[in-house]
């Protein structure tokens, strides 16, 4: 990478990170294979050298092994990068047994994550999923205590609705919301994004490449290993992939004209929406990392944005975002 990636501020929080972050989940969880640790450490360090300062993990990825990987990889760069991790689940013998955002569990997870990540303070600590059994005020209060104790710097929410965001923010300012957002999942535009703008909260889109779909590397014959969570995603069944190809065709046309890749158009589109959006595409491949980071220097003109928005508004997405079962697992 010749140019370093520009920085962005997540809302009014004072948390400044690279315009594109790196989602680390897939290195150890969710896609059927666990990648070679040495290779992944090298990949994460290459990201730092290319200007990435924002890395996303969670205790549930593995569980635990992804945080350990990120901690080892980023140890030489302590203080120079921001690490986001998440709480909100219960584990028995390494198996996720469901939601748990009780304050005592939040405190326990913070201590354990700090050790695995080899840091003194968690830069951004998200509630991974809203826990209907724990008032969000109690969750925000527990994180507020951790911030006052110097163990956490910023509070985040993931996939939370408007009322939860408002209630949490009233107790402890929320620095960022992480939710799925891409050209083929635009639901946050209705209520979530206007609320974030009003409250000065940053937005961190996950699956900005539609779990790989918007890269243009899949076709109607693409199948997934049964250990790959995408094998359960209705939107990625063969018949729905075929119907949804219209999205890929659309961005491919723009990409060819600009001499960039479909993935770069999909990421550049997100970056063009608001200056406080920071997508976190994940990858296990160095050439994909560099391709994704290249999106930061792709400029979409107002006309091109209008063209993409107009055309994509006319495409009806086929298939649900998650199957009922995997929503219980972790809708990632």
Band (324; pLDDT cuts 50, 70, 90):
low
The residue with tokens 């075929």 is: 242
Mean pLDDT of 274-282: 98
Model pLDDT for residues 150-164, shown as the tens digit of each residue? 999 999 999 999 999
Model pTM score: 0.96
The residue with tokens 């994004």 is: 193
- Amino acid 327: pLDDT: 39
- Amino acid 295: pLDDT: 98
Beta bridge partners of 220: none
Burial of 244 per CB tally in 10 Å (0-12, 13-18, 19+):
buried
Average pLDDT score over the chain: 94
Beta bridge partners of 179: 205
* pLDDT of 184 above 50: yes
Thinking of the domain 7-209+269-298, which architecture would CATH place it in?
Answer: Alpha-Beta Barrel (3.20)
Question: If residue 244 lies in a helix (H) or strand (E), which one and from where to where?
Answer: helix 238-258
* pLDDT of 328 above 60: no
Tokens of 84: 């986001």
Active-site residue flag, 61: yes
- Alpha-carbon distance of 171 to 190, in angstroms, equals 25
Strands 22-23, 54-56: pairing is parallel
* pLDDT of 31 above 60: yes
CA angle 281, 286, 292 (to 5 degrees): 35
Band (33; pLDDT cuts 50, 70, 90):
confident
Mean pLDDT of 227-240: 93
Angstrom distances, CA of residue 249 to CA of 10, 72, 102, 273: 32, 40, 46, 21
- Amino acid 323: pLDDT: 83
Which of these is catalytic: 31, 61, 126, 181? 61
- Amino acid 1: pLDDT: 41
- Alpha-carbon distance of 232 to 251, in angstroms, equals 25
Which among 260, 247, 166, 254 is positioned nearest to 214, based on CA atoms? 247
Burial of 294 per CB tally in 10 Å (0-12, 13-18, 19+):
buried
């Amino acid at each position: 990478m010749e140019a370093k990636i520009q920085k962005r501020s997540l809302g009014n929080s004072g948390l400044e990170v690279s315009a594109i972050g790196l989602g680390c989940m897939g290195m150890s969880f969710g896609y059927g294979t666990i990648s070679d640790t040495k290779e992944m450490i090298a990949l994460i360090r290459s990201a730092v050298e290319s200007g990435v300062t924002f890395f996303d993990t969670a205790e549930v990825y593995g569980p635990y092994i992804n945080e350990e990987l990120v901690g080892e990889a980023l140890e030489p760069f302590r203080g120079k990068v921001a690490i986001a991790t998440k709480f909100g689940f219960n584990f028995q013998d390494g198996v996720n047994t469901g939601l748990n955002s009780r304050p005592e569990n939040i405190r326990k997870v913070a201590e354990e994550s700090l050790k695995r990540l080899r840091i003194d303070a968690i830069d951004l600590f998200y509630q991974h999923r809203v826990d209907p059994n724990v008032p969000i005020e109690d969750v925000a209060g527990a994180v507020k205590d951790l911030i006052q104790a110097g163990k956490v710097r910023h509070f985040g929410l993931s996939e939370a609705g408007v009322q939860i965001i408002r209630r949490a923010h009233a107790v402890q300012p929320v620095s960022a919301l992480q939710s799925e957002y891409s050209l083929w999942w635009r639901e946050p535009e209705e209520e979530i994004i206007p609320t974030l703008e009003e409250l000065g909260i940053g937005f961190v889109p996950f699956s900005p490449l539609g779990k790989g779909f918007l890269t243009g590397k899949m076709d109607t014959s693409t199948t997934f290993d049964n250990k790959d969570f995408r094998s359960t995603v209705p939107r990625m069944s063969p018949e729905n992939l075929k119907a949804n190809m219209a999205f890929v065709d659309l961005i491919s046309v723009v990409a060819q004209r600009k001499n960039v890749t479909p993935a770069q158009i999909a990421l550049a589109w997100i970056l063009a929406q608001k200056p406080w959006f920071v997508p976190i595409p994940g990858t296990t491949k160095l050439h994909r990392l560099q391709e994704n980071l290249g999106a930061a220097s792709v400029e979409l003109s107002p006309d091109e944005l209008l063209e993409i928005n107009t055309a994509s508004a006319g495409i009806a997405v086929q298939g649900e975002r998650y199957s009922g079962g995997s929503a219980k697992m972790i809708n990632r």
